[in-house]
């Protein structure tokens, strides 16, 4: 009997004379029971409600794609940073080894010159002297190769490590903005819930203030969302430029380094 009475009351059209909680309940019931309108709207109305409550990435394809893009690029940057840092350390070790080889070649050249000067047999002295001159010339080649290692290759890797670190900083800044956006969205949702509770309780004096707070936080969330969209677009734009120009620059520098190295190797092969 009670259920029948409640159903009769709630199915009765809302009137101005009804108190606000009854009007809201009747309107909500009417909307929920309007199956024709629900079928016409499909998920659009639900999506709009979810968007007001902070959104749902599964239904928001663009946001989901954006999140996946940044996650993939973040992993790629981590991998590149690790590999380039390792390469930078390896090149520095290579340059140090070449410098040591240059120093040892110079010492050996001096030692051979001394042996040549003290050798009694002229033919042996000439051979030892020639060998000393060979090591003296290779000493300069090894020093030049060490310079190329440091000035071209190691500097290239170091610059890229610093560049990637700067890019990752912008990714972190974007993440902080996103966290702020979500935190403010939670606060906004709580403000909305408080406003609805005040309206249902008939506290018009408090609900007006709550409405102002909701509006204020809506503006904050909207601005934060705009900032998030702006920095996301900026990062994607700059990253595209990085891939287009920096990759080519990396390739050109590597070609320059290899050409110089080949030139030094040819000098070594011509030493007789």
Cα torsion 172, 173, 177, 183: sign: positive
The answer to whether residues 84 and 34 belong to one domain is no
The CA radius of gyration of the chain, in Å to the nearest whole number, is 37
CA 194 vs. chain centroid, Å, equals 38
Cβ neighbors of 164 (< 8 A, separation 6 or more) are 77, 80, 81, 84
**pLDDT band for position 64 (cuts 50, 70, 90):** low
Buried b (16+ CB within 10 A) or exposed e, 262-272: eebeeeeeeee
Domain contains 134: no
Eight-state DSSP code of residue 18: S
Residue 22 confidence (pLDDT): 73
Mean pLDDT confidence for 263-268: 79
Residue 58 pLDDT more than 80?
no
Helices (H), the chain: 2-11, 20-33, 35-41, 44-52, 61-118, 122-148, 155-200, 204-241, 247-270
Answer yes or no: are the C-beta atoms of 196 and 213 closer than 8 Å: no
Average pLDDT over residues 189-204: 82
Q: Is 29 in the same domain as 68?
A: no
DSSP one-letter string for 49-108: HHHHTT--TTT-HHHHHHHHHHHHHHHHHHHHHHHHHHHHHHHHHHHHHHHHHHHHHHHH
Q: How many domains does the chain have?
A: 2
d(CA 67, CA 161): 24
Q: What's the predicted TM-score (pTM) here?
A: 0.62
Is pLDDT larger for residue 220 or for residue 35? Answer: 220
Q: Per-residue pLDDT averaged across 63-81, rounded?
A: 83
126 in any annotated domain: no
CA angle in degrees (0–180, nearest 5) for 67-78-90:
165
Is residue 81 a part of any domain in this protein? yes
Chain centroid to CA 262: how far? 37
92: pLDDT strictly greater than 90:
yes
Q: Are residues 67 and 42 in the same domain?
A: no
CA distance 49 to 74: 31
Q: Which domain does 31 fall in, by range? A: 1-47
pLDDT value of position 138: 85
> Tens of pLDDT along 206-246?
888 888 998 999 999 999 989 988 998 888 888 888 777 77
Is residue 167 located within the same domain as residue 200?
Answer: yes
Nearest to 63 by CA among 154, 172, 181: 181
User: Does residue 219 share a domain with residue 184?
Assistant: yes
Task: Indicate whether 197 belongs to any domain.
Answer: yes
One domain, residues 35 and 67? no
The whole-number pLDDT of residue 20 equals 73
């Amino acid at each position: 009997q009670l259920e029948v009475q409640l159903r009769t009351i709630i199915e009765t059209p809302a009137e101005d004379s009804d108190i606000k909680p009854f009007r809201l309940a009747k309107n909500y019931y009417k909307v929920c029971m309007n199956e024709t309108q629900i079928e016409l709207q499909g998920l659009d109305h639900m999506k709009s409600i979810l968007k007001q409550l902070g959104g749902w990435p599964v239904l928001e394809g663009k946001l989901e794609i954006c999140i996946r893009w940044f996650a993939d690029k973040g992993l790629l940057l981590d991998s590149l940073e690790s590999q380039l840092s390792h390469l930078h350390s390896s090149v520095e070790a290579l340059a140090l080894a070449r410098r040591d080889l240059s120093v040892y070649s110079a010492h050996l050249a001096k030692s051979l010159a001394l042996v040549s000067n003290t050798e009694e047999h002229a033919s042996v002295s000439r051979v030892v002297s020639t060998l000393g001159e060979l090591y003296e010339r290779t000493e300069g080649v090894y020093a030049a190769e060490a310079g190329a290692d440091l000035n071209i290759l190691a500097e290239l890797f170091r610059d890229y490590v610093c560049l990637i670190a700067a890019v990752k900083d912008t990714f972190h800044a974007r993440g902080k903005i996103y966290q702020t956006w979500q935190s403010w969205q939670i606060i906004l949702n709580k403000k909305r819930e408080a406003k609805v509770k005040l309206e249902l309780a008939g506290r018009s004096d408090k609900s007006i203030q709550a409405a102002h707070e909701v509006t204020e936080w809506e503006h904050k969330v909207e601005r934060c969302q705009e900032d998030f969209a702006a920095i996301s677009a900026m990062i994607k734009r700059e990253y595209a430029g990085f891939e287009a120009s920096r990759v080519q620059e990396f390739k050109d520098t590597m070609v320059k380094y290899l050409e110089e190295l080949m030139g030094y190797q040819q000098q070594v092969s011509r030493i007789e």
